Each structure stands twice: as C-alpha cells, then as structure tokens.
Amino acid sequence: MPPRLPPGQQLVAPGKWPIVGERRPRADAAPWTITVADAAGTWCVFSLEALAALPQTDLCVDIHCVTRWSKLAVAFRGALLEHVLEHARRCAAAHGHAETARSQPAGAPPGDSDGARPAPEPRFVSFVARSDRRHSTSLPLDEALALRTLVALQAEGRPLDEEHGGPVRVVVPGRYFYKSLKWLERIELLADDRLGFWEATAGYHNTADPWQQQRYMAPTLSRREAERLLASRDFSGRDLRSIDAAHRQLDGLQARGALLRDARFTGCRLRGACFDGANLSNAHFRQADCRDATFRGADVEGADFTGADLRGADFTGASLLGVTFCHEEEPSPPRSARIDATTRIAPQQIEQLTPPQMAYVLGAIRAQLSAGGASEA
Ligand SMILES: Nc1nc2c(c(=O)[nH]1)N[C@H]1C(S)=C(S)[C@@H](COP(=O)(O)O)O[C@H]1N2
Ligand SMILES: [Mo]
C-alpha cells in the first residue's frame, strides 16, 4: 500500500484537530451568502439553504498542514465545486450574463443584463473568506475540479464548527490545508491568477502539493526566509534553485549572482529587476513583465521568455544558448516576447539562438528600427 503520510509530516493525536490561522469569521449580522462571480459580474448568489439543496457529496480527506501536522481520514460533506459552478452557470445564463452568452450559438440575442463584454475564459479560481482580512487562496480551475474540491457544510457528521470554518468552508483534497479556505463568502473565476493571503505575504508555495513538499517558494527556504525575501526583494547571491515565484509582484528585484536554475517567474512583474551574473538556466519567464530588467553576464541557457515584455531589457554578455523568445504558432506578441530596439542583445549573442528564434529576434529589432519608433540607447 502506498504511504498515507507525505514526507516531513507527523500525525496529530487521535481526536485532535488544531486550529490554524484566523479563529472566527467577520462579525456581520447579514445572512450568510456565497457569491460566484467573474470579471464581467455576478453569476449567482447562494444562500446556505441553496448550497445544501445541491447534490451532497461525502469525501474522506487527509488533512496535511504546511506546519507539518496531518490528520487522516476526516469525513467532509458538502457540494462539489463542480456542482456549485454548474448551478451558478445555469443561473447566470438565465439572467443573460455575458460569460454564458459567449457559448450561445451565433445570432442568438445578446444578454440583456449588464450589456457587458464576455469575461475572458476563467483559468483560476480564487476563494475569499468572510473574515476581517478577507483571507483568500487560489488554484488553477482545472486543478481545483480534478482534485474534487468540496464546498463543505459538515465534518464528521456534524455542521462545521465555527473555528474550523463553519458554516461553510472549502476543502481541497491533495493540497496543503492552506488551500482549504474557512468561511467561504466569494468564489471568483479569474483569467489570471491572484495569489492568496499566505502565498503573497508569507511565500507559501502556490501549488502546495504535500507529496512534493511544496511548502514555501523554494525547497531551501523556511517560512521566515521566504517572508524576508519577499519583503526585501533581495535574492542576491542566494541559492534559490527551482523557486516558484510565478505571478508575484517583484518589480525592482535584486538577484545579482543568484542561483535560479529552473526558477518559475511566469507572469511575474519584474520591471527593472537585476539578474546580472545570475544562473537562470531553464528558468521560466513566460508572460513576465521584464521591462528594463538586466541580465548582464547571466546564464539564461534554455530559459523561456515566450510572451515576456523585454523592452529595455539588457542581455549584454549573457549566454543565450537554447533560449526561447518566440511562440511557434504565433511569432508576435502577446504570445511571443515583446522585443524592440531598446532590447539590448548583441549580434554574437543572437547567433547562439536556433534559426527560428534568431529570425524572430532580428525581425523584431529591425521592425522597430525601420519604424523609427525607438532610439538605440
Ligand atoms: N479564512 C481563513 N481560512 C484559512 C486560514 C485562515 O487563516 N483564514 N488558514 C489556512 C490554514 S494555514 C490552515 S492549515 C487551515 C486550518 O484549518 P483549521 O483551523 O480548521 O485546522 O485553514 C486554512 N484556511
Ligand atoms: Mo496551514
């Protein structure tokens, strides 16, 4: 039988269930509701009774807290996120909400509610708590559904205790318990990820797979170190191999000489960041905002800059073997890197690229030069 306890975890005493994080919901006399919304507006507002009227699912869940305690086989009962969203979608369609109008056949009359444009396809889900600090956490939507995320109303055959998230909490099986939000108030469907409270402030890993020990941004970090790194934005000289910093706000980051092999900076804000002399081999910069960032003398071999904004970025003296700038099917922004005459890449560096990448970079620089758009610094 496979082990039930992920690496680095210990079982709590039988019958014990620690309380972690916030202790109670916001003091609020209004009836409890759960709103499902996307960027274009509200899909549906559930009362607790409406949630309880959805098909109820029983899940036996192993709880693993990032602080190393585990509690196995807790019986939760509630509505699967999948069923909540299905109902919310029907509800939105009935009200002519823009998102659902998109999937209607061409020529169908447009929705009559907000008259809003369709929201972009949701790829992430953010759960927001009815708590003083509006605690939140997020997951890729397909992952949340595949993990059988539950909107739970009961634990161990009884209504959830308030301190454990009652009357309604999220339970995400297979992730550290910080992805399981207490006191659910809003479910937001997002095109781009929005980091949750612990993820943004304490450097908690945004994927949180306990079997891979994804506790903090990088495997070498403690919580305190992760917190300090984010507050100071100073990675200089640090060993942060495989760090997952995707979607973070890291403008002005100092990472001179840092070991950042395999680092994930996907969708990150990195304006004016300094990666001079850093090892960034195989690092991921997809869709990152790298305007005016410097990579002087850095090793960026095998790095992926597809869709990154590289205007004003300086690659002087960097090793660019195997770097990807251009998306094969769409050799232009936004899916390929935004490069212009202010992007500093020397001719001998361009020669390190594969022919299609070379053609893309040269084309992007020339197009700008001949348009006279930007001046060479
Ligand atoms: N609203 C809210 N939800 C939250 C937290 C929090 O501080 N506020 N902490 C998270 C963390 S780190 C853990 S381990 C679990 C703890 O849930 P429990 O107190 O029921 O054990 O809730 C998660 N959900
Ligand atoms: Mo936790």
The pLDDT score that the predictor gives to residue 117 is: 60
Averaged pLDDT for residues 139-159: 98
Alpha carbons 274 and 52: distance in angstroms, whole number: 52
- Which residue bears the tokens 């495997």? 219
Task: Return the percentage of the chain with pLDDT > 90, whole number.
Answer: 83
Averaged pLDDT for residues 153-169: 98
158, pLDDT greater than 90: yes
150-155 and 69-80 strand pairing: antiparallel
Which ligand 1 atom sits closest to the C-alpha of 170?
A: 24
Q: With contact defined as beta carbons under 8 Å apart, do 28 and 130 qualify?
A: yes
Ligand 1 centre to CA of 20 (Å) is 5
Residue nearest to atom 5 of ligand 1 (CA): 21
Closest CA to 359 of 286, 283, 332: 332
Could you tell me where the DSSP H helices lie in the chain? Answer: 48-52, 81-94, 98-101, 141-146, 197-202, 223-232, 347-350, 355-371
Q: Which residues contact 222 (CB under 8 A, 6 or more apart)?
A: 216
Which amino acid is it at 254?
Answer: Q
3 state SS of 40: coil
Q: What does the buried/exposed string (b/e) look like for 60-82 if buried means 16 or more CB atoms within 10 Å of the residue's CB?
A: ebbbbbbeebbbeebebbbbbbb
Alpha carbons 323 and 352: distance in angstroms, whole number: 9
Ligand 1 centre to CA of 164 (Å) is 8
Residue nearest to atom 16 of ligand 1 (CA): 20
Residue nearest to atom 19 of ligand 1 (CA): 19
Vertex 177, ends 175 and 183: CA angle to 5°?
Answer: 125
Ligand 2 centre to CA of 56 (Å) is 26
374, pLDDT greater than 50: no
| CA 219, chain centre distance (Å) | 18
Predicted TM-score (pTM) of this structure: 0.84
- Which mutation among 136, 151, 182 tests ligand 1's pocket best, with the greatest number of atoms within 8 A of CB? 182
Ligand 2 centre to CA of 375 (Å) is 51
Averaged pLDDT for residues 176-187: 98
248, pLDDT greater than 80: yes
Give the environment of ion ligand 2: residues with CB less than 5 A: 20, 65-66, 177-178
Residue nearest to atom 1 of ligand 1 (CA): 182
Ligand 2 centre to CA of 177 (Å) is 5
Q: With contact defined as beta carbons under 8 Å apart, do 259 and 277 qualify?
A: no
- Of 368 and 365, the structure prediction assigns the larger pLDDT to 365
The DSSP result for 204-234, as a single string, is: B-SS--GGGT--BSSTT--HHHHHHHHHHTB
Ligand found nearest the CA of 180: 1
Q: With contact defined as beta carbons under 8 Å apart, do 33 and 49 qualify?
A: no
pLDDT digits (tens, 9 = 90+) for 272-297: 999 999 999 999 999 999 999 999 99
The pLDDT score that the predictor gives to residue 369 is: 67
Q: With contact defined as beta carbons under 8 Å apart, do 188 and 88 qualify?
A: no
Adjacent-strand bridge partners of 184: 129
pLDDT digits (tens, 9 = 90+) for 318-362: 999 999 999 989 999 999 999 999 999 998 899 999 999 999 999
184-190 and 33-38 strand pairing: parallel
Ligand 1 centre to CA of 201 (Å) is 15
User: Residues near ligand 1 with C-beta < 6 Å?
Assistant: 17-22, 65, 129, 131, 135, 164-165, 177-178, 180-183, 198
Q: With contact defined as beta carbons under 8 Å apart, do 178 and 204 qualify?
A: yes
Alpha carbons 42 and 49: distance in angstroms, whole number: 19
Q: Which residues contact 55 (CB under 8 A, 6 or more apart)?
A: 79, 80, 83
Q: With contact defined as beta carbons under 8 Å apart, do 323 and 347 qualify?
A: no
The pLDDT score that the predictor gives to residue 3 is: 78
